[in-house]
A and B are shown apart, each in its own frame.
Chain A
Amino acid sequence: MINLIRSLGRWGLSAFERLGRGHIFLMHMLAGIPGLFLRFSLVVQQLFSVGVLSLLIILISGLFVGMVLGLQGYNTLVDFGAEESLGVLVSLSLVRELGPVVSALLFAGRAGSALTAEIGLMKSTEQLSGMEMMAVDPIRRIIAPRFLAGLISMPILAAIFSAVGIIGAFLVGHGLLGVDDGAFWSQMQAKTDFYDDIMNGVIKSVVFGFVVTWIALFEGYDATPTSEGVGRATTRTVVHSAFAILGLDFVLTALMFGDE
């Protein structure tokens, strides 16, 4: 029993210590962001590897999620003779929830894991240490541009996911199931609010982008510098990011839509 309490205490202490290190890392990283506006080319390179290279998985997944949503939505709505409302159903589901959440989960799997592995390997091959000895701060030079790129990419990827999803739902709803296209688009336009729906979705995706990129970069930077350590850190990135996205989604949804 004493051993159990002792190991629980040890686990708690190390978890808090890690949390503290993560926050110091975040502060250091944020302090490096203003300097990046003078060397924006560093961010542009990372926008390509973090954002553009994630585009394919976002486009394909968005299309299929939208198509499934169109199919399922139609089957439910048609019982009530409300299949014209398919456009509203699809756009609200995607813009408010599925767009930010699913694209963030995919982003964590595609870009987050790549970031952790890259930074972890740079640490294990002494590249970060070497940079420090050349009087170059690796957090400002290597980490901060990747963080800013993640922060910029995530809302854009989520918006693309939602847009492609809506197109997928339209293809199925109108092309396959015969929903009237005028009703599909006009109801969507009438019922989707710019601030309440679209902007809240954008806020969610910015928060998810912040958290996923932070977790991925910290896990890489804090990884044990061995192949096993980097492997574990990559797994932790995906798992912790998924928990953070789903947990934060509930909190944000409660704050945004809780009083409706």
Chain B
Amino acid sequence: MPLIKIRDLHFYRGNRAIFEGVNIDIQRGKVTAIMGPSGTGKTTLLKLIGGQLRPDKGTIEVDGQDVHKLSRSELYELRKRMGMLFQSGALLTDINVYDNVAFPLREHTDLPETLIRDLVLMKLQAVGLRNARNLHPSELSGGMARRVALARAMALEPMMIMYDEPFTGQDPISMGTLVNLIHRINDAMGLSSIVVSHDVSETAEIADYIYLLSGGKVIEQGSPVQLKRSGSQWVQQFMQGLPDGPVPFHYAGPEFADDLLKPEEYA
């Protein structure tokens, strides 16, 4: 049985359809990537899974529970077992790195401070930032902030972690570190991971299974190797990052030659 089962998902913002009949299964213990061009609603999908948004139609089951039929307290109980890494890190800016990682432990457990200290140091050690524990979020680089957020997401030993665009805007070293961490943590902790991204090569490197979204639908799915061999031109354009193809380079409109023959337009 998959950890997350999404069936016939419909979601609208105003009159604009974000999802129209999406079906996705996230398998336990695997890294599943959700990919697609900007604006396809990848982050929205994570918010729907986390119960922060409600679908207009369809169901999302996490570990056998329909997320949108749970009471508030049941939803909060479920969220304790779901970690989420926001694109910005979403660290609390008025407290330091140590207190940020300790935050969920202090909120949800009655553990003594000495034990919390050990747990926090273990999580920070795992992301390589144990010695940065006294820094404030404003003193961290973007990549470091994401690693601290990852340590925080792991604090309560969740069954899954959702990553929202973890590689965006990272230098090659940070990017390599994050790719490595996501892969390692998933295997070491026996987690299930969902990575939302449009960085093809990094994501394909760690993903066991990929869903490609576009226009509110799942366009293609499969292992990275299967997608690279896909016969669909759209999939090939996306996976290889080609500037022109089914998604045209030029914004739709009259032909260039026709435009050149109309010098009076700006005269």
A and B are interacting partners? yes
Contacts of B88 in A (CB 8 A): 125-126
CB < 8 Å A-B pair total: 50
Report the contact-size class of chain B (Cβ under 8 Å from the partner): 20 to 34
* Cβ < 8 Å to B, chain A residues 127-144: 127, 129-137, 141
> Is the pair A126, B90 in contact by a Cβ cutoff of 8 Å?
yes
> Is the pair A134, B86 in contact by a Cβ cutoff of 8 Å?
no
Taken residue by residue from 116 to 132, chain A's Cβ proximity to chain B (1 for < 8 Å, 0 otherwise) reads as 00000010011101111
With an 8 A cutoff between CB atoms, is B219 at the interface? Answer: no
Taken residue by residue from 87 to 123, chain B's Cβ proximity to chain A (1 for < 8 Å, 0 otherwise) reads as 1101111000000000110011000000000000000
With an 8 A cutoff between CB atoms, is B52 at the interface? Answer: yes
Contacts of A131 in B (CB 8 A): 92
Assuming A134-B104, A136-B104, A141-B107, is B90 touching A129 (CB within 8 A)?
Answer: yes
Contacts of B79 in A (CB 8 A): 132-135
With an 8 A cutoff between CB atoms, is B50 at the interface? Answer: yes
**Chain B CB within 10 Å — which of A126, A127, A133, A137 has the most?**
A133
Residue of B52, B91, B93 touching A133 (CB-CB under 8 A): B52
CA A133 to CA B108, docked complex, whole Å:
13
**Chain A CB within 10 Å — which of B87, B88, B90, B107 has the most?**
B90
Contacts of A132 in B (CB 8 A): 50, 52, 79
Taken residue by residue from 254 to 266, chain B's Cβ proximity to chain A (1 for < 8 Å, 0 otherwise) reads as 0000000000000
Assuming A133-B82, A134-B107, A135-B108, is B77 touching A125 (CB within 8 A)?
Answer: no
Is the contact region of chain A dominated by helix, strand, or loop, or is it mixed?
Answer: helix
Contacts of B50 in A (CB 8 A): 132-133
Assuming A129-B90, A141-B107, is B52 touching A135 (CB within 8 A)?
Answer: no
With an 8 A cutoff between CB atoms, is B80 at the interface? Answer: yes
> Is the pair B103, A134 in contact by a Cβ cutoff of 8 Å?
yes
Residue of B76, B90, B156 touching A130 (CB-CB under 8 A): B90
CA A165 to CA B156, docked complex, whole Å:
53
With an 8 A cutoff between CB atoms, is B84 at the interface? Answer: yes
Q: Which residues of A contact B (CB under 8 A)?
A: 122, 125-127, 129-137, 141
- Cβ contacts A to B, 23 pairs, < 8 Å: A125-B88, A126-B86, A126-B88, A126-B90, A127-B92, A127-B93, A129-B52, A129-B86, A130-B84, A130-B86, A130-B149, A132-B52, A133-B79, A133-B82, A134-B79, A134-B80, A134-B152, A135-B77, A135-B80, A135-B104, A135-B108, A136-B103, A137-B76
Q: Which residues of B contact A (CB under 8 A)?
A: 50, 52, 76-77, 79-80, 82, 84, 86-88, 90-93, 103-104, 107-108, 149, 152, 156
